[in-house]
């Protein structure tokens, strides 16, 4: 009884280990049987690989599409808007930075340099500003943004006001944004504003405030400069003028053309218009100039009105015409500035067509060189041109000019020809060829002589009337009497001016 109970008790105690051992043995036998079945079912030539190797081979067999390129920048500053109010020695307000983040993850957005930032907010939440990346200016603060897309960063800022010589100014820093807009309010009126680095779009005075709205230009700082408005008494002062009038008269066979360049200098007051005395039968066709608003002919005078009163100087061109005799004694119509203390300038007369000026009679004029009367006269290349300068003295001095014009019947003549050409040729053993060419030119009308060099030739020197050609700006050139020029032009050719029977020569080399 006792031994039977002990055996039963021992069987109960070893039941759990025995069951565990039996289950483990059954699982091992099942795995061996399954592996043997799989091995028996595989045909010869099969290879078993891991899932990672399979994915790698699949990617090589079927490569994916090209991945998009990363953006060139992590974030860009699209727009900056300033709203400032001047209070004492500071301009305080808000700066709104519109930022487009293009990269996933954290990016740094630089804050415009020079701003005193009190706090920064993004979507109504405070944002901490950190120093810039190493090597990019550690004094510049940056905001850290974590999500791509557009965001607006609000900054409470302050800017110092600079005072110099009665003027006050603030400068908004330059940024790389596409649009920079600045709105500034000043708690007083009666000030003059000057803007640099941008365009003043709006200026208003409402209540006790002055408001300015401006847009920055490119990467330049936007600077507002203001000072107390001062009354301008120039408009109430008596007008005092000085003037210069240079007239070019072209005597044609049917019509005489008149072109006058007028310069007005205001020494006192402000000129709203100027008057020019017109000779009889002169018709004004056009008055052009950047400051000209309108013009009118009345009672033998030409009244030219300006867009704004001129306080310093103004310039405009008067174009007109008249009828005069074809030849013989011709009285030149002279334009004259009125109400001036002193006027300077001159007149030039040229004959259009076949003719020349034989004699002339002047009063209040003196002979002058065409280059002394400015570009309007010196640019003319007429074979018959006479220039005169106004004689210094009282502005009311009488002036007159009468010329005697002789006309010719046009004949069929050569404009220019080479009367004689001489060549000296030197051939070396190396196959090089040196040529000296001398030309005697008879010129009747042509201003330039063109000499074409052989293909592959290199010009060594050129001279006209014994004067060598100087090399300048990579092209040989020389100055001659009468401001004539001799130039070597691209393509291997020589151009000379105003030969007048002079002898010219050129040396050039080539290979044979």
- What is the predicted pLDDT for the residue at 469? 59
Residues 396, 248, single domain; the answer is yes
Q: Is the pLDDT of residue 184 over 90?
A: yes
Number of domains in the chain: 3
Among residues 166, 194, 228, which one ends one of the domains? Answer: 228
Same domain, 388 and 489: no
Let me know if residue 68 belongs to a domain. no
**Is the pTM of the predicted complex or chain greater than 0.95?**
no
**First and final C-alpha spacing in the chain:** 140
Domain boundary among 202, 228, 254: 228
Print the domain residue range for 402: 236-407
- pLDDT for position 72: 80
What long-range pairs does 363-370 form, CB within 8 A, spacing at least 24?
363/398, 363/399, 363/400, 363/401, 364/390, 364/391, 364/393, 364/397, 364/398, 364/399, 364/400, 365/389, 365/390, 365/391, 365/399, 365/401, 366/391
Once rounded to an integer, what is the mean pLDDT over residues 114-142?
A: 80
Considering the domain architecture, whether residues 219 and 247 belong to the same structural domain is answered as no
Tell whether 253 and 217 lie within a shared domain.
no
**Taking CA 271 as the corner, what is the angle to CA 265 and CA 276, rounded to the nearest 5 degrees?**
75
- Residue 30 pLDDT exceeds 80: no
Tell me: do 98 and 217 sit in the same domain. yes
Over the stretch 56-72, which tens digit does the pLDDT of each residue have?
A: 888 888 887 776 677 78
125 lies in the same domain as 251: no
pLDDT in tens, 367-383: 888 888 888 888 887 77
For residue 133, give the CATH number of its domain: 2.60.40.1730
- 366 Cβ neighbours under 8 A, 6+ residues apart: 388, 389, 391
| Statement to judge: residues 402 and 456 lie in one domain | no
Task: Give the pLDDT mean for 490-510.
Answer: 44
Name which residue leads in pLDDT, 467 or 339.
Answer: 339
């Amino acid at each position: 009884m006792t031994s039977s109970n002990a055996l039963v008790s021992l069987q109960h105690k070893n039941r759990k280990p025995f069951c565990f051992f039996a289950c483990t043995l059954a699982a091992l036998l099942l795995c061996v049987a399954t592996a043997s079945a799989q091995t028996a079912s595989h045909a010869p030539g099969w290879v078993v690989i891991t899932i990672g190797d399979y994915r790698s081979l699949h990617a090589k067999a079927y490569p994916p599409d090209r991945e998009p390129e990363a953006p060139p920048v992590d974030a860009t500053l699209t727009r900056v808007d300033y709203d400032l109010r001047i209070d004492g020695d500071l301009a305080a307000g808000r700066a709104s930075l519109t930022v487009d983040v293009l990269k996933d993850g954290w990016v740094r957005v630089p804050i415009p340099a020079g701003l005193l930032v009190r706090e920064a907010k993004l979507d109504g939440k405070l944002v901490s500003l950190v120093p810039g990346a190493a090597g990019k200016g550690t004094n510049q603060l940056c905001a850290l943004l974590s999500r791509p897309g557009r965001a607006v960063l609000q900054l409470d800022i302050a800017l110092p006001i600079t005072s110099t010589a009665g003027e006050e100014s603030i400068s908004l820093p330059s940024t790389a944004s596409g649009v920079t807009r600045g709105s500034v309010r000043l708690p007083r009126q009666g000030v003059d504003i000057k803007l640099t680095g941008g365009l003043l779009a709006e200026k208003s005075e409402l209540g006790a405030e002055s408001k300015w709205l401006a847009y920055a230009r490119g990467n330049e700082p936007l600077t507002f400069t203001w000072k107390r408005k001062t009354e301008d008494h120039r408009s109430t002062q008596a007008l005092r003028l000085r003037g210069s009038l240079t007239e070019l008269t072209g005597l044609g066979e049917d019509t005489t053309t008149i072109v006058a360049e007028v310069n007005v200098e205001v020494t006192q007051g402000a000129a709203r218009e100027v008057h020019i005395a017109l000779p009889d039968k002169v018709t004004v066709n056009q008055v052009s100039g950047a400051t000209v608003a309108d013009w009118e002919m009345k009672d033998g005078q030409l009244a030219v009105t300006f867009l704004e009163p001129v306080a310093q100087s103004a310039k405009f061109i008067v174009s007109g015409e008249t009828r005069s005799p074809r030849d013989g004694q011709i009285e030149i119509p002279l334009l004259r500035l009125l109400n001036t203390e002193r006027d300077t300038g001159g007149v030039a007369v040229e004959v259009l067509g076949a003719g020349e000026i034989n004699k002339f009679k002047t009063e209040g004029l003196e002979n002058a060189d065409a280059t002394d009367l400015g570009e309007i006269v010196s640019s003319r290349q007429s074979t018959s041109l006479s220039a005169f300068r106004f004689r210094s003295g009282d502005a009311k001095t009488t002036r007159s000019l009468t010329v005697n014009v002789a006309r010719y019947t046009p004949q069929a003549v050569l404009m220019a020809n080479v009367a004689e050409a001489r060549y000296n040729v030197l051939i070396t053993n190396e196959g090089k060829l040196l040529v000296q060419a001398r030309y005697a030119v008879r010129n009747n009308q042509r201003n330039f002589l063109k000499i074409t060099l052989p293909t592959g030739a290199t010009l060594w020197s050129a001279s006209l009337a014994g004067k060598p050609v100087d090399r300048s700006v990579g092209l040989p050139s020389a100055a001659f009497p009468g401001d004539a020029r001799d130039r070597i032009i691209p393509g291997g050719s020589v151009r000379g001016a105003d030969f007048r029977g002079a002898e010219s020569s050129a040396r050039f080399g080539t290979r044979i």
